[in-house]
C-alpha cells in the first residue's frame, strides 16, 4: 500500500474553522485527521502541503518512522504549526491502518482499557445565579465532573483580571455549597492571569472549593508555575497548548501538573500522545484531554482515552458529539455523560467531501483583549 494523495481542507464548520486532512492510498483506503491550531488553519495547511511532497509514494503503515521523518528532517524542527500538521497526518495514518487491518484505532494502541470514556461538561453562563442553576441541571443530568465559568471579557474585549476574580470567587463558593462535596468541579482561566493574580484568586477560595484550576497563567515559563505551586494547593490542569513531549517534560517531572490537558490534534497525534501518557503514568498524572474541535478530534481522543490507564475525563466539546450530520454522516456520539468506544475499523468517522467547500473558510481571529489602560492582555 502506498500514499497517493494528501488533501488539507481548511473549512468553517459550526462555530469555528477546522482543518481536516485526508490521506488517500492506492488500495482505495483513506484516513482522516484534524489539526488543533485554531485560528491558524491556513498556516497548518501549508505545512501539510510541504510534508505531502515526500509522503506521496510512502508506506502508510510506517507511522512511527514517518512521524520521525516529518519532525526531524528539517533544520527548524518542532513548533506548534508543524506539530499540528503532523498531528493531523498521524491521526489519518492510524485511521488508514485500522481500516486496512479491520480493527478500531484503540487496538493499535494496545487495546481498550475501558468500554466508556466519561466526559466533563462546561457551564456557559457567567458567574451568578444562572451559572448555579446550569450547574445544578448538569448534576441532575448525571454529570459528575463539570467546569464552571469565570467572569469573562466584556463585549468590547475589555478584561481586567482583578475585577474578574472579585466577580468569580463568591459564586464558586456558592457553587460548591449547591453541588456538594461529591461533584468534581474545575474552572478554566484561559491563561489570563499573572502569577500574583492567580495566587490571589486561589487564596480567596476556601480549601476544597475547586478540584482543579485550568491554565491560570501562560505556560512558557515552568518556573512561574513552580512559584504558583508554592502558593496554592489547588491541582493544576495544564497542557492543551503543548506541542511535544519536551514541552510536557518540566511540568511532569517537577510535579507541576496534576492533570495533563493533552490535545491529540496539537501534540503530534497518537504517536506522541502515547509517549506523553506513559511519562505521565510514571508520575501519577492523569490525562484530561482537550477536545474543543470537531468529530475527528473527538473520535481520536476517545480512542486514545480508551487505551491508556491514567485517564480521568474527556472534555465534551460545544457540539456534544452531534456535529453536522451532512458533513459527518458517521461520527462518535455522546451517550449520556460519556462516549462509547468505537468498535468499527479505524476512527469511526467519515466525512462527505461534497459537503466541504474551501469558500466556507473564514479568516476568524481570536479576540484581541485589552485592559482599561489600553494594553494588550491574553485571550
Active site residues: 190, 290
C-alpha pair distances (Å), 204 with each of 233, 261, 308: 12, 25, 36
Q: Is 349 helix (H, G, I), strand (E, B) or coil?
A: coil
Q: DSSP string of 151-181?
A: PPP-TTSB--HHHHHHHHHHHHHHHHHHH-S
Q: Is 307 helix (H, G, I), strand (E, B) or coil?
A: coil
| Residue in this structure with the C-alpha cell 492506492, named with its chain if needed | 26
Interhelix angle 269-282/245-253, nearest 10 degrees: 10
Which residue in 284, 307, 339 sits closest to 114, CA to CA?
A: 307
Distance between CA atoms of residues 173 and 179, nearest Å:
10
Cell of 313: 475525563
CB 31 within 8 A of CB 99: yes
CB 104 within 8 A of CB 283: no
Listed in sequence order, the residues at least 6 apart from 257 whose beta carbon sits closer than 8 Å to its beta carbon are 236, 237, 238, 239, 248, 251, 285
Distance between CA atoms of residues 164 and 193, nearest Å:
10
**In 56-204, where does DSSP find H-type helix?**
63-72, 80-101, 105-108, 129-140, 161-179, 195-203
Positive or negative: CA dihedral 186, 192, 195, 200: negative
Amino acid at each position: 500500500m502506498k500514499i497517493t494523495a494528501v488533501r488539507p481542507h481548511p473549512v468553517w464548520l459550526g462555530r469555528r474553522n477546522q482543518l481536516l486532512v485526508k490521506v488517500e492510498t492506492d488500495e482505495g483506503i483513506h484516513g482522516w485527521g484534524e489539526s488543533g491550531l485554531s485560528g491558524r488553519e491556513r498556516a497548518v495547511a501549508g505545512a501539510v502541503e510541504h510534508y505531502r511532497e515526500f509522503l506521496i509514494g510512502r508506506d502508510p503503515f510506517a507511522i512511527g518512522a514517518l512521524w520521525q521523518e516529518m519532525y526531524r528532517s528539517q533544520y527548524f524542527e518542532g513548533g506548534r504549526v508543524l506539530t499540528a500538521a503532523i498531528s493531523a497526518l498521524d491521526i489519518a495514518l492510524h485511521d488508514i491502518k485500522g481500516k486496512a487491518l479491520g480493527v478500531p484505532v484503540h487496538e493499535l494502541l494496545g487495546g481498550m482499557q475501558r468500554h466508556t470514556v466519561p466526559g466533563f461538561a462546561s457551564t456557559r453562563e457567567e458567574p451568578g445565579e444562572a451559572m448555579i442553576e446550569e450547574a445544578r441541571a448538569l448534576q441532575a443530568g448525571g454529570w459528575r465532573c463539570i467546569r464552571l465559568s469565570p467572569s469573562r471579557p466584556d463585549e468590547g474585549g475589555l478584561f481586567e483580571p482583578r475585577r474578574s476574580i472579585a466577580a468569580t470567587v463568591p459564586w464558586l463558593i456558592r457553587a460548591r455549597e449547591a453541588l456538594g462535596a461529591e461533584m468534581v468541579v474545575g474552572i478554566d482561566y484561559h491563561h489570563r492571569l499573572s502569577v500574583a493574580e492567580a495566587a490571589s484568586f486561589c487564596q480567596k477560595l476556601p480549601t476544597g472549593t475547586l478540584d482543579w484550576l485550568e491554565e491560570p497563567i501562560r505556560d512558557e515559563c515552568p518556573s512561574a508555575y513552580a512559584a504558583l505551586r508554592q502558593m496554592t494547593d489547588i491541582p493544576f490542569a495544564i497542557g492543551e497548548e503543548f506541542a511535544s513531549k519536551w514541552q510536557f517534560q518540566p511540568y511532569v517531572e517537577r510535579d507541576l501538573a496534576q492533570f495533563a490537558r493533552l490535545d491529540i490534534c496539537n501534540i503530534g497525534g497518537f504517536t506522541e500522545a502515547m509517549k506523553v501518557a506513559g511519562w505521565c503514568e510514571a508520575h501519577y498524572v492523569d490525562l484530561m484531554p482537550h477536545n474543543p474541535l470537531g468529530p475527528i478530534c473527538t473520535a481520536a481522543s476517545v480512542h486514545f482515552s480508551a487505551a491508556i490507564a491514567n485517564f480521568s475525563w474527556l472534555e465534551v466539546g460545544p457540539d456534544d458529539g452531534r456535529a453536522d450530520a451532512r458533513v459527518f454522516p458517521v461520527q462518535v456520539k455522546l451517550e449520556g455523560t460519556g462516549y462509547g468506544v468505537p468498535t468499527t475499523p479505524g476512527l469511526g468517522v467519515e466525512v462527505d467531501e461534497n459537503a466541504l467547500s474551501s469558500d466556507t473558510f473564514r479568516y476568524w481571529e481570536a479576540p484581541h483583549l485589552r485592559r482599561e489602560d489600553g494594553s494588550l492582555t491574553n485571550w
